Chains A and B, each alone.
Chain A
Amino acid sequence: MIAAFHHAETPVHRLRPGVKIAAVFMGATLAFVFANWIALAILASGVLVLYVIARIPPALALAQIRPALLILVAIFALHAIFDDWLFGLFVVARLVVIIVLAALVTLTTRVSEMVAALEIGLGPARHIGIDPSRVALAVAMAIRFIPVIATQAAAIREAQAARGLHRSFVAILVPLVIRSLRMADSVAEALDARGFETKERVGKDSATIDSQQKPSVEAVERVVD
């Protein structure tokens, strides 16, 4: 699985993920609060400058819009037909700027950095009972599981092909879901056996958290591999 990260050594890459994400929210809010061409042009130039600093190749920058292209055209057509084509153009332009700005975060931030930022960002959530390190573990586990499940799905599909059932969602999903749930039970058992469920936390220092996380992910891997 290849993430959309584009490697380079630039100030944008070095920015903390939290800052970058906040910038996207701010940019998007500004684009909607000041809904006029001048504000949009300023925002767009800002985004352009950021892309240049981040040394993202122009082709890659343009590619960020491609997934949404069809629906953007549809939106423009909608406005062109029913009300004001100029407004339609503005709406589409605004969306493009925001999408491209958001894409910059993903292009300049490693997945691991994002996970770390997520864990820090969830710190305050401790007060409502959310444990950031458990969230981080859930993230790590899910990532670890994806290739395993995908392989299982492929294997099941092949097996069902022998019966001519490879086109049936049900024939693939029922075994896949049941096998996945069984695997989850084994992993949960393995984790509990390693004392994962430690409700007492004497200190919140990173050493305590790390010493819990690493053996847990290893336990997952031992069951899964």
Chain B
Amino acid sequence: MNLPALSTKDIVYIALFAAVIAAMALIPPIPVPVIPVPITAQTLGVMLAGSILGGWRGMLAVLLFLALVALGLPLLPGGRGGMAVFAGPTAGFLFGWPLGALVVGLLMERFWGKVDIVLAFIFNVIGGIAVIYAIGIGWLVLMVGADPLSVVTGSAAFIPGDLIKAGIAAFVAVTVKRSYPIIARRA
């Protein structure tokens, strides 16, 4: 079995997007009036990776980003990094990132001709929120022996912020698609 071949351009896109995700930790969290916690940009980066690069390359970009973190680079919000990040209770959310990007990307590829901001938003919610939360909560429950219901209720506070991110990612993806349709070029 051989994995799908990656061209030079693919590899550069993947490396570059990993860097974009990293740079997003450096954009200061932007306070939003309705939400108690300022939104950090990084999950947005994950949604964008899938939306713009597609399933396979989006997932690899996120994986590359996580690899950089694992190598010891302080690329997570607050300058966090290193292997300890993957050992903690919230590591599941990180593990969910590549899968989330994959799902968003595959959905975007599948419906590329019909994608508008509404569809893009839905895809981002499915991949960027549902998938990531499922893995994150699952991991948390496993690691911590907590009652799943309480974990789910606890995580609910972050959902409004993530919905806003999904909306932003959808808007950016649709706008970029107009001038720089990467996924279409592939097909």
A153, B82: Cβ atoms closer than 8 Å: no
Interface size class of A (residues with CB under 8 A): 35 or more
9 closest A-B pairs by CB: A106-B82, A145-B19, A103-B84, A129-B2, A102-B87, A141-B15, A102-B83, A188-B9, A149-B23
**Complex A-B: 28 CB contacts under 8 Å:** A3-B72, A3-B81, A4-B74, A4-B81, A67-B80, A67-B85, A71-B90, A78-B144, A78-B146, A87-B145, A91-B145, A98-B87, A106-B83, A110-B72, A115-B71, A134-B6, A138-B15, A139-B15, A141-B11, A142-B19, A142-B65, A143-B73, A148-B19, A157-B27, A184-B13, A188-B8, A188-B9, A188-B13
Taking a contact as CB atoms under 8 Å apart, the answer to whether A178 and B7 are in contact is no
Residue-wise interface mask of B (133-158) relative to A, using a CB-CB cutoff of 8 A (1 in contact, 0 not): 00000000001111100100010000
What's the minimum C-beta distance from B85 to chain A, rounded to whole angstroms?
A: 8
**Chain A at the B interface: SS class:** helix
Whether B20 lies near A21 (C-beta < 8 A) is: no
Contact (Cβ within 8 A) B144 A173: no
Task: Evaluate contact between A149 and B71: CB separation under 8 angstroms.
Answer: no
Q: A154–B164 Cα gap in the complex (Å)?
A: 22
B18 touches A (CB below 8 Å): yes
Q: Which of B2, B86, B143, B180 contacts A128 (CB 8 A)?
A: B2
The reply to whether A177 and B68 form a contact with Cβ atoms under 8 Å apart is: no
Q: Are A134 and B11 within 8 A (Cβ)?
A: yes
Kindly list 19 other residue pairs between chains A and B, CB separation below 8 angstroms, not including A95-B87, A139-B67, A145-B15: A68-B89, A75-B144, A75-B146, A95-B143, A105-B83, A138-B64, A141-B11, A142-B65, A145-B16, A146-B75, A148-B19, A167-B30, A169-B168, A170-B171, A177-B176, A178-B180, A181-B52, A181-B180, A185-B9
